[in-house]
Structure 1
Amino acid sequence: MSMAVDLPFRSAAILGAGLMGRLLAVTLVQAGCRVELFEAGGPEAEGAAARVAAAMLAPLAESAVAPASVVRMGHYALDRWPTLIASLAAPAFFQREGTLVLWHRQDASEAARLARVLARTGEVVPELPAMKSLDAAGIAALEPSLGQRFAQGLLLPDEGQLDNRALLAALLATLQASSQVRLHWHAPRTTDDFTPGEPGQPERVIDCRGLGARPQWNALRGVRGEVIRVHAPEVTLQRPTRLVHPRYPLYIAPKPDNVFVIGATEIESDDMSPASVRSTLELLSAAYSVHSGFAEARIVEIATQCRPTLPDNLPAVRQPRPGVIQVNGLYRHGFMIAPAILDVVMELLATGHSALASRFDMAPSLEPTTP
């Protein structure tokens, strides 16, 4: 599942069974380590930010709001995901059909601004495939149901997506099938509960609790996101589609079985209350403006969650004390960058250094730090 590593330890405790916690648990087990996984919630990851996500793997598209370092992580991860998924005990949907960017005529100036940003990203990160401009015929060739509705668009080739909930379930099934793992549900733990290396204690503790780690990492904040899952048999989209809009750029991510994840809103708040009527109406209206088949869709779920975010909106790895590593701050890019962060952490655990980290402009702190 990961790069071949020779670990200098044979036991680890992982705190948090969200995306990073599960990925690291599986990878450590496959490297020959005994793992105990502690999670405040249950096996369905109901409290994890990863459960409420579109799981788009779109580094060029995300460069509208993300720096080059995150774009490089996302590009690296696109090639890693198939290998990671192939090693799991259950399947998970994954595709790389690109991202389609569309806009209505009145938003052409905003689309032109976005295209300039993406072009600059291509100059800074030249390994990315170049975006392609599309006319109505080009759009229709990719998405026949949209060709009459939009006159212009962009294709961001080779970008991808996966089914977040199927992946979380596949990671869980892999852990459940291993005799080297003990799973502790509804069992919250903090780093203060462990003394790594002492008799009867794990040799390493890895904290992947997201916002749950805020008492030990007080710079963390929550950034609220809202998504709507709908079942729309009358809508056919082959790839994630983004709608340019000056106020609420929208994404529509098609999942298996005619399910679509629609999202846009991002609010600087750790408010976990249900979505507002206003944001729900805006999301659904924008989706309908992309494809009229959404009018007859059935709303399966309207979900909110807060993404764990650090002040610079970048992921971080640090060591608050010997034997304890904290991984956090994946923000809105969790699925897009998780394999890159996974491999950085595995390098650090194996040798204390990471060549990948410098490639991603990360400077993991392996000296004791203050919160």
Structure 2
Amino acid sequence: MIAHPSSFAILGAGLMGRLLAVSLARAGHAVAVYEAQDASGQGSAARVAAAMLAPLAESAVTEPGVVRMGQHALTRWPQLLADLQAPVFFQQNGTLVVWHRQDAQEAARLRLQFETTHSALPALPAMQALDSAGMARLEPALAGRFAQGMYLPGEGQLDNRQLLDALAREMAQRGVAVHWNTPREPADFAPGTPGQPDWLLDCRGLGARAQWRELRGVRGEVVRVHAPEVTLQRPTRLVHPRYPIYIAPKQDHLFVIGATEIESDDLSPASVRSALELLSAAYAVHSGFAEARIVEIATQCRPTLPDNLPAIRQTAERVLEVNGLYRHGFMIAPALLDVVLELLQTGQSPLASAFDLAVDLHSATSALSLP
């Protein structure tokens, strides 16, 4: 057993790095964080995200283990947010899926997928089919615009940038030593030796490619718009012939519109084609987007492993790496957080098995006694 309290160095202050830093600091441990960028999270995939918590919706493109992580997140995020000093926008009004007539066949395929997922995971609320009257009752802003849709109850979302800011404040309040604009590598530390932290946690995403060579970037592009004429009450997904487009409403008529997934680690500005597709799709959902003001068109690359699934591995004694969150960062981060904490407490994680999460321990992990 390692004596309590212990010390940790965390590489990367994206979503996972901040969550781990806050949790460990709350437990009474000394934590130092090293981040290559500044406190705004500019270098993090978490900053350019819609932060939707949609396990049933995402079952169309991912594995059951990730869906179960999403179920876990719907319970854990309210708990995690309640412990923060700064407020973070969070809603759990479900997800709406709509489509135009020409995409009815793809919508039918999605419906079958949702029904199959619910059969395998009955704890998930079942998809509800909507006719035009049901659509008008559920989402009045879309009344008369779509003849039918699907409602996925219980799914949620939060404001990613508010959360990153709130976690940064919490780290400061909890005494975490945060070194912004200070890139570090695992080789810069010798955990467990005199003058060094007891543990090293590497959460650098694509910044860890030199050590985790299977990582690749999957480029995402999103548009943030201010649309006072649009009053969508929940994330809305438009069935699209090439990829599903989402519109996530935040506070004060701010909307995040996204969908593009390009196998590339190119961080150049968004293409005209991508921007036109996203904005045209939003306008096709609600004509009020025609008068919206473009606040930002942003790009970022999601850290992705060959199977598009997250993983945790121990590469050396007292060194844990967490990576591969792909497009599901906010939906799976609470599960990964709780798995890492279990590993540090006991050297094993029943949760990891429940989530089909790959955990590769280099050697028997020393147990850390957390209160």
- Same fold by TM (over 0.5)? yes
Deviations 1:213-251 (A, max 9, x none): 000110100000000000000001000000001113210
Q: Distance in 2 between matches of 1:37 and 1:54?
A: 25
Deviation of the 1:308 alpha carbon = 0.2
Maintained 8 Å contact 2:131/2:149: yes
Q: Specify the alignment match of 1:332 in structure 2.
A: 327
Q: Specify the alignment match of 1:300 in structure 2.
A: 295
Q: Is the aligned partner of 1:100 residue 2:71?
A: no
The 5 Å alignment of 1:314-353 reads: 314-353=309-348
Q: Is the aligned partner of 1:177 residue 2:146?
A: no
Deviation of the 1:127 alpha carbon = 1.1
Amino acid of the residue matched to residue 167 of structure 2? L
Q: 1:283 aligns with which of 272, 278, 281?
A: 278
Give the secondary structure class of the aligned counterpart of 1:364. strand
Maintained 8 Å contact 1:40/1:187: yes
Q: Specify the alignment match of 2:190 in structure 1.
A: 195
Q: Distance in 2 between matches of 1:236 and 1:354?
A: 43
Q: Distance in 1 between matches of 2:327 and 2:3?
A: 30
Q: 2:21 aligns with which of 18, 25, 37?
A: 25
The 5 Å alignment of 1:1-371 reads: 10-179=6-175, 181-367=176-362
Q: Which runs of 5+ in 2 are unaligned?
A: 365-371
Give the secondary structure class of the aligned counterpart of 2:240. coil
Amino acid of the residue matched to residue 237 of structure 2? R
Deviation of the 1:333 alpha carbon = 0.1
Q: Distance in 1 between matches of 2:164 and 2:273?
A: 31
Give the secondary structure class of the aligned counterpart of 1:238. coil
Q: Distance in 2 between matches of 1:347 and 1:287?
A: 42
Q: Distance in 1 between matches of 2:63 and 2:119?
A: 13
Deviation of the 1:8 alpha carbon = 5.5
Q: Distance in 1 between matches of 2:4 and 2:305?
A: 30
Q: Distance in 2 between matches of 1:75 and 1:261?
A: 23
Give the secondary structure class of the aligned counterpart of 2:23. helix
- For these two proteins, the number of residue pairs brought into alignment is 363
Give the secondary structure class of the aligned counterpart of 1:245. coil
- Alignment TM-score, normalising by the size of structure 2: 0.96
Amino acid of the residue matched to residue 275 of structure 1? A
Give the secondary structure class of the aligned counterpart of 2:294. strand
Give the secondary structure class of the aligned counterpart of 2:360. coil
Give the secondary structure class of the aligned counterpart of 2:21. helix
Q: Distance in 1 between matches of 2:81 and 2:3?
A: 22
Q: Distance in 2 between matches of 1:251 and 1:201?
A: 45
Give the secondary structure class of the aligned counterpart of 2:322. strand
Maintained 8 Å contact 2:4/2:29: no
Amino acid of the residue matched to residue 258 of structure 1? H
Amino acid of the residue matched to residue 335 of structure 1? F
Structure 1 consecutive aligned stretches of length 4 or more whose deviation exceeds 4 Å: 6-9
C-alpha distance 10-327 of structure 1, shift in aligned 2 (>3 A): same
Maintained 8 Å contact 1:7/1:349: no
Q: Distance in 2 between matches of 1:251 and 1:40?
A: 30
Amino acid of the residue matched to residue 135 of structure 1? D
Give the secondary structure class of the aligned counterpart of 2:220. strand
Deviations 1:315-356 (A, max 9, x none): 000000001000000000000010000000000011110010
Report the aligned-residue RMSD: 1.2
Q: Which runs of 5+ in 1 are unaligned?
A: 1-5
Maintained 8 Å contact 2:200/2:318: yes
- Alignment TM-score, normalising by the size of structure 1: 0.96
Deviation of the 1:9 alpha carbon = 5.3
Q: Distance in 2 between matches of 1:81 and 1:359?
A: 18
Amino acid of the residue matched to residue 159 of structure 1? E
Maintained 8 Å contact 2:118/2:124: yes
- The share of aligned pairs that are identical, in percent, is 69
Deviations 1:245-292 (A, max 9, x none): 111321000000110000011011111111111111111011000000
Maintained 8 Å contact 1:206/1:326: yes
